[in-house]
């Protein structure tokens, strides 16, 4: 069994949580860096819904709330 945790606060996602049944809405996205000899490019993309089949893909990031997502983005901009 895979345990998913928020990449901002560390909260663990419950296994049987569903947004329709009153659970919180988790956010799935990707934070990918591509390096070439002359530059480093970083790209963040977010899906419009949670997809269990994609949580382990390269560069996947997970957030327990929109607030944690925004905190991660603001921290990434400062880096």
What does the pLDDT look like over 7-52, one tens digit per residue? 999 999 998 765 454 456 899 999 998 888 998 888 999 999 999 9
DSSP reduced 3-state for 21: helix
pTM: 0.80
Structural domain contains residue 35 = yes
Q: What is the pLDDT of residue 79?
A: 60
Q: Which of 17, 2, 30 is nearest to 64 (CA)?
A: 17
Cα–Cα distance measured from residue 3 to residue 71, given in angstroms and rounded to the nearest whole number:
22
In total, how many domains does the chain have? Answer: 1
Structural domain contains residue 43 = yes
Q: What is the pLDDT of residue 41?
A: 87
Pairing between β-strand 40-46 and β-strand 60-63 as defined by DSSP bridges: unpaired
Structural domain contains residue 6 = no
Each residue of 21-51: b (16+ CB within 10 Å) or e? eeeeebbbbebeeeeeeeeeeeeeeeeeebe
Q: What is the pLDDT of residue 22?
A: 47
Structural domain contains residue 65 = yes
């Amino acid at each position: 069994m895979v345990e998913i945790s928020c990449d901002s606060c560390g909260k663990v996602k419950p296994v049987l949580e569903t947004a329709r049944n009153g659970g919180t809405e988790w956010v799935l996205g990707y934070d990918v860096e591509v390096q070439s000899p002359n530059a480093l490019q970083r790209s963040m993309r977010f899906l419009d819904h949670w997809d269990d089949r994609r949580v382990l893909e390269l560069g996947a990031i997970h957030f327990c709330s929109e607030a944690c997502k925004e905190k991660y983005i603001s921290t990434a901009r400062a880096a």
